[in-house]
Amino acid sequence: MTVRLRPTLTTLPAYVPGRSVPGAIKLASNETSLGPLPHVVRRITEVAGEANRYPDSFATELGSALAARFGVDPTQVVVGCGSVSLCQQLVLATAGEGDEVLFAWRSFEAYPIITTIDGATGVKVPLREDVHDLTAMAEAITDRTRLVFVCNPNNPTGTAVREAELRAFLDRVPPQVVIVLDEAYREYVIDPEVVDATTLLADYPNLIVLRTFSKAYGLAGLRVGYGIAADATLSNAVRQTQVPFAVTQIAQAAALACLEPPAEKELRQRVEDVTVERIRVTDELRAIGYAVPDSQANFVWLGNGPAEQGGIDALAFSTGCEDRGVIVRAFADSGVRVTVGLREENDAFLAAARALRARPVPADHQTDDTPDGF
């Protein structure tokens, strides 16, 4: 007997994580090259012995601490198994068959996957010069649109939209459409014109801001993120779609420790080190001859295109890097994302980039149409 599965699964792109190759430098997954913050490691060790107990299913203590930090009511805060889980919960809470979920493309790989799983229709709006085209996104909203994702800074390009343009877009979105500002890389933003979206909550009741402890805080392996909604009705709906006990006790304790003063001091230094390296890597790549957009995240982007215009062939470039002991993330149809790691890791990548720039890519090289993961 053959079991009956949903037809959607036959066309659903597979989740493909960034690869790890023994002995190679991994710059493919936007992780911090360092472990969790030292203060947080001590807290993890302290609570590990309590793993026999179920966690607080709604992470009440962590939610209250986040509410105090951002000056909102605890009912506006929802904690999830990484911000990607909250993305999926938001789709479940707002959209179904016949509804539309709108996002830029290329952007975070999870958006079309979670939309398709839920039975809704994903609407992709092309980037304009590697940045969200918010004017085109506003024009693409229809009476079927239920949810709009804006990834800022954008993954995988690292680009960010500034406050004036973002506010103009938010003003055009109908009040019944939920807007998700996905700020997974907010800690790395140094451009003063890129607004902290939590400051916009009072002005836009249909807005929810997502953050994560996976990136700057170094807790990718523990899976904990959070959302802050302008309206508690929305955060409560997200809680209703959550799997019970989704965030482990150790993850909650680690996230709480991240918010304490010793960890905050450690975080500031790490973020500064990454942003300094990001600027150095960008400048050197441009000096070599690559076209690299300004990044506000912990990675840089090299787009597909003619070599004389600074472009690359994503698959050829990523293969060339791997041959030289560096793993980067290739998106066959659009470009390569490279995490900013430690200085010595970045130097190894830059050496590979120099060697590949000196070696022309064959004009007849064919790209692979294999679906990209995230």
Question: How confident is the model at residue 1, as a pLDDT?
Answer: 56
Report which residue type is found at 307: A
Q: CATH code for 38-259?
A: 3.40.640.10
Residues 315-330, mean pLDDT to the nearest whole number: 97
Does the structure show a pLDDT above 90 at 162? yes
368 or 215, greater pLDDT = 215
Question: How confident is the model at residue 359, as a pLDDT?
Answer: 63
User: What is the rounded distance in angstroms from the CA atom of residue 364 to the CA atom of residue 344?
Assistant: 34
Q: What phi and psi values does residue 136 have, to the nearest 5 degrees? A: -65, -35
Mean pLDDT for all residues in the chain: 93
Does the structure show a pLDDT above 80 at 307? yes
Domain boundaries, the chain: 15-30+265-358, 38-259
Question: How confident is the model at residue 362, as a pLDDT?
Answer: 46
Does the structure show a pLDDT above 70 at 360? no
5: pLDDT confidence band, cut at 50, 70 and 90? confident
CA gyration radius for the chain? 21
User: What is the rounded distance in angstroms from the CA atom of residue 256 to the CA atom of residue 40?
Assistant: 9
76 within 8 A of 230, measured Cβ to Cβ: yes
User: What is the rounded distance in angstroms from the CA atom of residue 85 to the CA atom of residue 88?
Assistant: 5
Place of tokens 């060790």: 45
- The domain made up of 15-30+265-358 has a fold known as Aspartate Aminotransferase, domain 1 (3.90.1150)
What percentage of residues in the chain have a pLDDT greater than 90? 88
Structure confidence by residue, pLDDT tens digits, 261-273: 999 999 999 999 9
Cβ-based neighbours of 146, under 8 Å, separated by 6 or more: 94, 95, 99, 100, 101, 120, 177, 178
User: What is the rounded distance in angstroms from the CA atom of residue 358 to the CA atom of residue 360?
Assistant: 6
Nearest by Cα to 90 from 245, 228, 238, 242: 238
Least confident of 11-15, 122-126, 135-139: 11-15
Does the structure show a pLDDT above 50 at 361? no
